[in-house]
Amino acid sequence: MKFPKDYTLEQISTLMGATNYVGPSDFLIKGINEIHMVEKGDLTFVDHPKYYDKALKSAATTILINKEVECPKGKALIISDAPFDDYMKLVKYFRPFEAAQSMISATAEIGENTIIQPGAFIGNHVKIGRNCIIHANVSIYDHCIIGDDVIIHSGTVIGADAYYFQKRADGFKKFETCGRVIIKDKVEVGAQCAIDKGVSGDTIIDTDTKLDNHCQIGHDTYVGKHCLIGAYAAIAGVTRIEDDVIIWGRVAINKDIVIGKGAVILAVSAVDKSLEPGKTYFGTPAIEAREKWKEMARLRRLVAD
C-alpha cells in the first residue's frame, strides 16, 4: 500500500511509538508492504531470525525489525520489540475500517453505462469502469478497482480480507489487510466466487480472463490475461498464473508458485509446485498428463496381475 504522501522515518516511528531507529530522521518512506511484495521506498517488517537476511536484502528501504543489526547501505531500520504489532498500527492508521452508510457508497466512482443490479453492495472508494454489469447481491469491498466491460455474477465477493493469521500462545492474531483487488477490462466472474484482497499489495485478475462459479482466489495472487478457470477452483495466496492458462474444475493450487504461460491443468488435480509453460498436467500432485496416464496404466496392470 502506498501512502497518500511520503512520510519521514521520524514521522513513521512516532506513529508507532518507536524511539529507536537507524538512519536520517528525514529518510523518506513511501508505503508499507509484505516481504514478497515490497518495492523501493516501502517499509516491511520481520520478527523471526529465519527471515532477517531476506528482509534486509529485499527491495524494501525501511525494515521494522526486533533485533539491532547492521543497517544495509541506503536503507533505514526501526527497532521494535513487536514488529508485527507495530506494523498493524500503521495498517490501521493509513487504512482504517470505514462503516458503510449506504448500499452504494457516495465515494464510489461508477462509469458510464454500468448497471448495478438491486441488492449489490459497492463499498467506499471503489472504482468501476464503463459498460459493466454488477449482478444482484455482489459485494465489492472498499478500495477495489474494476475495469471496463466487466461482468460479475450474483453472490460474488470482491475484496474480502486475506486469510492470514499469526499463531501466538494465546490464540491467533489477525494480519489486518490493507491491499486491494484490481479486476481489469473484459473479465467475467461467475456466481458465488471469492477474490481476496492483497495483504498490503494487490490481487490482480488481468484482461479477458473468465472465472466459472464458486472459484476462490487468495490474497496477492496474479491471474494473467485470457485465462479460463473452472468451477470450484481454489487458488492460494501469492500465486502467479501467467497468460493463456486453462484451469479445469476443482483444481487446487498451493501458495507461492508460478503456473507457466499456456499451461492446462485438468480437473480435480492438485498443484504443489511451479509448472512449466505450454504443458498439460493432471493428478495429485499434478505432473504432465501423459506421464500420469502411463503411471495409471502401469498400476492397473499390476492390480490385474
Residues 225 and 246: beta-carbon distance below 8 Å: no
Dist. CA 64–CA 21, nearest whole Å: 9
Closest CA to 29 of 78, 72, 80, 71: 78
**Catalytic residue chosen out of the listed positions 143, 153, 214, 219:** 219
Cell of 121: 453492495
Q: Is 135 a catalytic residue?
A: no
Tell me the β-bridge partners of 264. Answer: 246, 280
Closest CA to 141 of 173, 99, 201, 91: 99
Active site residues: 219
